[in-house]
Amino acid sequence: MASQIVIDPLTRVEGHMKVEATVENGVVKEAKSSGMMYRGLENVLIGRDPRDAARIMQRICGVCPTSHGLTAAFALDEVYGVSGAITDNGRILRNLIQGANFVQSHILHFYQLAALDYVDVTAVADYRGSDPDLARVREFIARGHLGPFVPRYEGDYRLSKKENVAAVKHYVQALNMRRIAHEAVAIFGGKMPHNMSIVAGGVTASSDIDKIAAFLWRIERLIDFINGCYLPDVLMVAERYSDYFDIGAGCRQLMSFGVFDLDSDPDLTRRRRWLPQGIVGADLKLRRMDPEKITEEVTSSWFRETGPVHPYDGTTVPERDKAGAYSWIKSPRYAGEVMEVGPLARIAVAYAAGDPEVKRQVDAVLGHFKATPAALFSVLGRHAARAIETKLVAEKLKQWVLQLQPGQPSCTDFNLDVTARGMGLHEAPRGALGHWIRVEDGKVTNYQAVVPTTWNAGPVDAKGQPGPIEQSLIGTRVRDERNPFELVRIVRAYDPCLSCAVHVVTPKGEDLGRFLVGGA
Amino acid sequence: MDCAAIRAPLLVMAVGNLLREDDGFGLAVLEHLRQVELPETVELFDAGTSIVDLMQVFDRRELLVVLDAVRGGQQPGSLYRFGPEQVQSGALPLDSLHQVGLLETLRLGELVDCRPQRTVVIGCEPERTGLAIGLSDPVRAAVPKAARLVLAELGCAAA
C-alpha cells in the first residue's frame, strides 16, 4: 500500500521548499524535492553596469547575501582583468568577511534551524532555576508562544531532561553569538545584512588597529562558544542519535569550489585556497575539478527545455505547464554526475588533500565514535563536518586578521569599458556557489548563478538520476508516516536555502482592512 | 567598542527585496526620507531580505518603524499601520512550517532581551511582485504618503 507524505514548506527561513516522499511498507521508494519559488533574478542584471552585480546579487537571497556579493566580485575580477592583481589586504579582508559569515551561518543552522529536531524545548516548561534565559523560554512556553520553536515534528526526543535544558540555554546563547558574528562581518563588510564594501578588485573597507582589535575580540568570544557549546552539543546529539550515522547517505560524490584565498592566481582553478577545490567520492580520493564540465539541465524543471548547457550559455525562461516537471530548481551536473556540495564536501576534499588540521579534527570525531570515514556520508556526518569547519574557520580568522597591513591598499583600479566574460567560483556556507557573467561594451548580456541548494535539492535529470537530497531520502525507513521526523532531519542536515521569497507580512486569519490608514 | 552607546533611539527599517518590484516599497520610502532633514535621533536602515539577521539592529531602540509590503486584501497602494501584537494573536499557527519573518525575529529578540520598546509596521499593498526593479504606479504614488506617516510616527513635522 503506497501513501504520500507532503511537507511544505520545510526550510524555516523564508522561501519554500517542498519534499514529497512516496512510502511503501514504511520505506521511502520515491522522493521529489521541489523548489516552489521561481528564481530568475539573474534576468534583472541584463543590460546593467556589471558592477551592480556585487550589490544586486546580494539581494537574491535572505540567507547568503554575503556569499553572493563575494562570488559576483570574483566573476567581476575576471571581467575587468584584475583577478591576479588583488592586493593582500583585499584578499584577506574578503576572507575575514566570508569567514565571519560562515561562523554566523553555521551557528544559526545548528541551533535555530536544526537543533530542535533533536532537542525537546518543552523540557524547560517547568524550569524552576534562576537562569534568566531559561526563565524567559519558560514564560514563552507558558504563554503558548512556541513561535520561535516550531515547526517541529513530535516525538523521538532522546536527550535527558538535564541535557535538553542545557541545549535550550545554548539555543538562547547562540542568538547572542550570532549578533557578535554579525558585528564581526560588519566591521569590514560595512553593513550587515547586504555588505557595502565588497567590490570588483577587492574590498573598499580599510583596516586599522581599532578594527582589527574589535574583530579579534569578537572572534575570541565566538571560539569560546564553539569549543564550549557548539562542538560538545553536536557530539552529544551524535551520541544519542547515532543511528543517524547510517541514514541519509546521498549520492556519495562531493564537490567543493574552494574558499579562503591564500594567493591571487588569476586562474580560480589554480588559486591556492585554505579549503581547496576538488571532488571526492566514497573512496575519499581527491579528483581535480574542471569548471568546463559543469552543466545545468531542466528535464524536471519548469523552464524551457535547453538540454545540458554550461552556465555561460544558460537561460532562465519559465514554462509553468511543462509536462513531467516538478520543480523551479534546475539540475546542475558535473560531467553528467550528481554532486553534493556543502561543509561535508569542503571538509572531505580538504581531508583527501591532506590538510593536517582538518585531518586531525575529522579523525578525532570519527575515533570518538569508532567510525570509518564512510560514516561521514550521513545526517550526522553533515552536522559534524559543519561544526568542525566552524571551529577551524574561527581559528583561521584569528590568524588572518593579524596579517592585515594597516594603510596598505585593499582595492585595485580597472577600466570599465570592457567586452569580456567572468567566472566566480566560491563557497557559500551551504556549498559551492558559481556566478557566470558575459559583458559587452560595459553592459551585462548574460548572468547565471548556480547556487548550493540547486546542486543539493535539484530534481531528476534526463538520465533518471535523482538529486542528492532525493537520493538521501530514498530507502529511508519511516516509523510514523504522519510524523516523518526522519525525513525532516535528513533534509535539514543539508542546510537547504531557497529564500528568494517576497517578504510580505501575511497575518493569517486576520482582516488587515482594519489597519488601513491610507487609500490607494 | 560599544556601538549601542551611539545608537539613534528611533529606527526606520525598510524590509523587502528591491528585485521584486513592489516588494521594494520600503526602500523607496527610505530613499524619500533621505531627502528630508531628520533629527539626529533618527536612523534609516535598509534591512533588505535577511530578517533573521536583524536582532542586533533593532536592539535597544525606543521606536522601530518597519516598512514592508503587506498583503491585506485592499487595493494596490493601500497603506496599513499596525503593531506586531495586533497580528500575533492567532496569526502564527503552532503546527505550521512557517518562515522566520519579522514577527519571529522580534520574538527571538525577546529571548535575549534584545528588542525595541515599541514597534509600528507601515505597510503597503503591492500590485506586482515579479522579478524586476521598480514600483508599480499605485505603490509609487503611495511612497510620499507613507513617508509622511513615518514622520508622524517619529514626531517630526511633515516635510
Query: Are B116 and B9 in contact, with CB atoms under 8 Å apart?
Result: no
pLDDT classification of B159: cutoffs 50, 70, 90:
very low
ipTM: 0.73
- Topology of the domain comprising A2-120+155-458+467-494: Cytochrome-c3 Hydrogenase; chain B (1.10.645)
Does residue A357 or residue B159 have the better pLDDT? A357
Is A216 in the B-facing interface, judged by CB distances under 8 Å? Answer: no
Question: Tens of pLDDT along A184-243?
Answer: 999 999 988 889 999 999 999 999 999 999 999 999 999 999 999 999 999 999 999 999
Task: Give the pLDDT of residue A507.
Answer: 31
Residue A359 region, left (φ>0) first, then alpha (ψ -120 to 50), else beta? alpha
Task: Return all residues near A13 (Cβ < 8 A) that are at least 6 apart.
Answer: A62, A63, A113, A497, A499, B52, B99, B100
> B21, B132 in Cβ contact below 8 A?
yes
The mean pLDDT value of chain A amounts to 88
Q: Which residues of B touch A518 (CB under 8 A)?
A: 78-79, 142, 145-146, 149
CB-nearest partner of A59 from B1, B48, B81? B48
The Cα B101–Cα A208 span in angstroms is 36
Sign for the CA dihedral angle at A144, A149, A151, A157 comes to negative
CB A6 within 8 A of CB A22: no
| pLDDT value, residue A150 | 56
Q: How far apart are the first and last CA of chain A?
A: 54
pLDDT band at A441 (very low <50, low <70, confident <90, very high): very high
pLDDT of residue A498: 54
Map out the domains of chain A as residue ranges: 2-120+155-458+467-494
Residues A13, B52: C-beta atoms closer than 8 Å = yes
- What average pLDDT score do residues A433-454 get? 93
The whole-number pLDDT of residue A493 equals 92
What whole-number distance in Å separates Cα of residue B120 and Cα of residue B67?
9
Instruction: Read off the pLDDT band of B113 (50, 70, 90).
Output: confident
Side-chain-facing half-sphere of B157: CA atoms under 13 Å: 1
**Is residue A5 very low, low, confident or very high in pLDDT (cuts 50, 70, 90)?**
very low
pLDDT of A41 higher than 80: no
In tens, the pLDDT along B66-106 reads: 998 887 778 999 998 888 777 653 333 322 333 456 666 77
Q: What's the confidence (pLDDT) of residue A143?
A: 78
Query: Does the pTM exceed 0.80?
Result: yes
Is CATH 3.40.50.1450 the classification given to domain B3-154?
Answer: yes
Domain ranges, ordered by start, for chain B:
3-154
Could you tell me which chain B residue has the CA closest to the CA of A143? B89
CA–CA separation, A499 and A157 (whole Å): 29
**How many other CB atoms sit within 10 Å of the CB of residue A426?**
25
Query: Would you say residue B31 has pLDDT above 80?
Result: yes
pLDDT, one tens digit per residue, over B45-67 is 998 877 667 777 888 899 999 99
pLDDT number for residue B90:
37
Q: What is the pLDDT of residue A188?
A: 97
Tens digits of residue pLDDT in B149-158: 999 999 986 5
A500 is in an annotated binding site: yes
Alpha helices, H only, chain B? 25-34, 84-88, 102-111, 137-154
Task: Choose among A175, A144, A151: nearest CA to B88.
Answer: A144
Is A497 marked as a binding-site residue? Answer: yes
Question: Where are the alpha helices (H) located in A7-87, listed in sequence order?
Answer: 53-56, 65-79
Evaluate whether A195 touches A97 at the Cβ level (below 8 Å): yes
Residue A506: what pLDDT?
28
CB contact under 8 A, A178 and B55: yes
Kindly tell me if the per-residue pLDDT of A508 is higher than 70. no
Of A101-105, A154-158, A186-190, A230-234, where does mean pLDDT reach its minimum? A154-158
Which residues are within 8 A (CB) of A438 and not within 5 positions of it... i.e. 6 or more apart? Answer: A312, A421, A444, A445, A446, A447
CB pair distance less than 8 Å for A59 and B82: no
Q: Does A114 touch chain B (CB under 8 A)?
A: no
- Give me the residue label for grid cell 543552522: A109
Residues of A in contact with B141 (CB under 8 A): 520
